[in-house]
Structure 1
Amino acid sequence: MLLGQPRQMPLNTYQGWKYFLIVFVIGLGMLLALPNLFGEDFALQISNKKGTPVAEELVDNITKKLEAEGVKPFKSEVVDGRGLIRFNDQDEQSAAKKIAFQFIKNNEDENLKNEIVVAINLAPATPDWLRDLGLNPMKRGLDLRGGVHFLIEVDTDDLFEKEQEKVISDIKAALFEAGKIYHEGVNALNSKTVIAKFKSEEIRDQAFAAVNNRMTGYKIDDREANDLFNLHFTILPAKEQEIRNYAIDQNINILRNRINALGVAEPVIQREGAERIGVQLPGVQDSTTARTIIGDTRTIEFRLVNDKRRVEDVVASGRTPRDSELLFEGGARPWLILKKAILDGEHITGASTSADETGMPQINVRLDGAGGKKMSKETAKNIGRPMAIVLTDVSPIYKTDESGDYIKDEHGQLTVIDKKIDKEVVSAPVIQSQLGSQFRITGQFTQQEASNLALLLKAGSLKAPISIVEERTIGPSLGKENIRLGLESILIGFVLVLAFMLVRYKFFGFVANIALLLNLVLIVGMMSMIGAVLTLPGMAGIVLTVGMAVDANVLIFERIREELAEGVSPAQAIHNGYDRAFSTIADANITTMIAALILFAIGTGPVAGFAITLFFGILTSMFTAIMVSRAITNSIYGGKPVKKLMI
Structure 2
Amino acid sequence: MLSIPLWNRVVIWALVAFGLLFAMPNAFYSRVEGHNDAVKAIEAQASTPELEAARGAWPDWLPATIVNLGLDLRGGAHLLAEVQVSDVYADRMDGLWPEVRDALRDERATVGTIRRMPSAPDALRVRISQPEGMDAALRAVRDLARPVTTLTGVGSADIEVASDGDEVVVRLSEAEKLATDSRTVQQSLEIIRRRVDEVGTREPNIQRQAEDRILIQVPGIGSAAELKELIGTTARLTFHPVVSRTEDPDQEPGLRNVLYPSMEDQGVYYILEQTAVVSGEDLTDAQPAFDQNGRPSVTFRFNPSGGRQFGTYTSENVGSPFAIVLDGEVISAPVIQEPILGGSGQITGNFTVEESTQLAILLRAGALPAELTFLEERTIGPELGADSIAAGKVASIVAFTAVLVFMGLSYGLFGIFANVALLLNVGLIFGLLSAIGATLTLPGIAGIVLTIGMAVDANVLVFERIREELKTAKGPARAIELGYEKALSAILDANITTFITASILFMLGSGPVRGFAITLGLGILTSVFTAIYVTRLMIVMWLERRRPRTITV
Corresponding residue for 2:64?
A: 135
Query: Which of the residues 278, 288, 300 maps onto 2:236?
Result: 300
1:341-398 CA deviation, whole Å, 9 max, x = no partner?
A: 6222764411433246xx9x69452225455455335544554554333333xxxxxx
Corresponding residue for 2:28?
A: 38
TM-score normalized with structure 2 length? 0.75
Query: Which of the residues 493, 502, 505 maps onto 2:411?
Result: 505
Query: Is 2:18 the counterpart of 1:28?
Result: yes
8 Å CA contact retained: 1:271, 1:277: yes
For residues 552 and 121 of structure 2, what CA distance do their matches in structure 1 show? 75
**137 and 451 in structure 1: CA distance in 2 versus 1, 3 angstrom threshold:** closer
Query: Which of the residues 280, 287, 299 maps onto 1:365?
Result: 299
| TM-fit CA distance, 1:513 | 1.6
Query: Which of the residues 322, 340, 343 maps onto 2:279?
Result: 343
Corresponding residue for 1:532?
A: 438
TM-score normalized with structure 1 length? 0.66
Read off the aligned partner of 1:365 and give its amino acid letter: T
1:32-81 CA deviation, whole Å, 9 max, x = no partner?
A: 1222333535979889999743344xx3xxxxxxxxxxxxxxxx4527xx
Read off the aligned partner of 1:30 and give its amino acid letter: L
Query: Which of the residues 273, 294, 297 maps onto 2:208?
Result: 273
Corresponding residue for 2:377?
A: 470
Query: Which of the residues 449, 472, 482 maps onto 2:388?
Result: 482
SS in 2 for 1:132: coil
| TM-fit CA distance, 1:174 | 8.1
1:422-461 CA deviation, whole Å, 9 max, x = no partner?
A: x43333334343334332456xx6xx45767644532323
Corresponding residue for 1:151?
A: 79
Corresponding residue for 2:45?
A: 53
SS in 2 for 1:460: helix
Read off the aligned partner of 2:377 and give its amino acid letter: E
**474 and 286 in structure 1: CA distance in 2 versus 1, 3 angstrom threshold:** same
Range with bigger deviation, 339-348 or 19-28: 339-348
8 Å CA contact retained: 2:110, 2:136: no
Corresponding residue for 1:104?
A: none
Range with bigger deviation, 583-592 or 533-542: 583-592
Pairing of 1:138-537 with structure 2 (within 5 A): 138-145=67-74, 147-151=75-79, 153=81, 155-157=83-85, 158-166=87-95, 169=98, 211-212=145-146, 216-217=149-150, 219-220=156-157, 233=173, 234-235=175-176, 237=178, 240-257=181-198, 259-260=199-200, 267-274=202-209, 275-282=213-220, 290=226, 294=230, 297-305=233-241, 307=243, 321=255, 323-329=256-262, 330=266, 333-340=269-276, 342-344=278-280, 347-355=284-292, 363=297, 365-370=299-304, 371-392=306-327, 423-435=328-340, 436-441=342-347, 448-449=350-351, 454-461=356-363, 462-464=366-368, 465-466=371-372, 469-476=376-383, 478-537=384-443
1:218-268 CA deviation, whole Å, 9 max, x = no partner?
A: 6218787669998964417456423421332122112321x23xxxxx633
| TM-fit CA distance, 1:502 | 2.2
For residues 549 and 272 of structure 2, what CA distance do their matches in structure 1 show? 97
8 Å CA contact retained: 2:245, 2:271: no
For residues 40 and 110 of structure 2, what CA distance do their matches in structure 1 show? 56
8 Å CA contact retained: 1:571, 1:641: no
Q: How many residues align?
A: 523
| TM-fit CA distance, 1:490 | 1.1
For residues 148 and 449 of structure 1, what CA distance do their matches in structure 2 show? 29
SS in 2 for 1:40: helix
**161 and 598 in structure 1: CA distance in 2 versus 1, 3 angstrom threshold:** farther
For residues 465 and 107 of structure 2, what CA distance do their matches in structure 1 show? 78
1:169-193 CA deviation, whole Å, 9 max, x = no partner?
A: 5677789999999899999998888
8 Å CA contact retained: 1:223, 1:231: yes
SS in 2 for 1:512: helix
SS in 2 for 1:335: strand
SS in 1 for 2:461: helix
1:302-325 CA deviation, whole Å, 9 max, x = no partner?
A: 131474x9999995668x64x554
User: How well do the aligned residues superpose, as a CA RMSD in angstroms?
Assistant: 4.8
8 Å CA contact retained: 1:302, 1:387: no
For residues 497 and 425 of structure 2, what CA distance do their matches in structure 1 show? 20
8 Å CA contact retained: 2:318, 2:336: yes
For residues 93 and 285 of structure 2, what CA distance do their matches in structure 1 show? 24
**231 and 487 in structure 1: CA distance in 2 versus 1, 3 angstrom threshold:** closer
SS in 1 for 2:208: coil
For residues 578 and 253 of structure 1, what CA distance do their matches in structure 2 show? 51
| TM-fit CA distance, 1:144 | 3.6
For residues 387 and 344 of structure 1, what CA distance do their matches in structure 2 show? 15
**644 and 192 in structure 1: CA distance in 2 versus 1, 3 angstrom threshold:** farther
Corresponding residue for 1:608?
A: 514
Runs of 5+ consecutive residues of structure 2 not aligned to the other structure: none
8 Å CA contact retained: 1:149, 1:472: yes
**640 and 374 in structure 1: CA distance in 2 versus 1, 3 angstrom threshold:** farther
8 Å CA contact retained: 2:296, 2:356: no
SS in 1 for 2:323: strand
For residues 185 and 577 of structure 1, what CA distance do their matches in structure 2 show? 89
For residues 68 and 45 of structure 2, what CA distance do their matches in structure 1 show? 24
8 Å CA contact retained: 1:596, 1:611: yes
8 Å CA contact retained: 1:571, 1:642: no
**250 and 195 in structure 1: CA distance in 2 versus 1, 3 angstrom threshold:** same
**160 and 504 in structure 1: CA distance in 2 versus 1, 3 angstrom threshold:** farther
**Bigger share in helix:** 2
Runs of 5+ consecutive residues of structure 1 not aligned to the other structure: 1-10, 60-75, 85-122, 261-265, 393-422
SS in 1 for 2:416: helix
**524 and 230 in structure 1: CA distance in 2 versus 1, 3 angstrom threshold:** closer
Read off the aligned partner of 1:459 and give its amino acid letter: I
8 Å CA contact retained: 2:297, 2:351: no
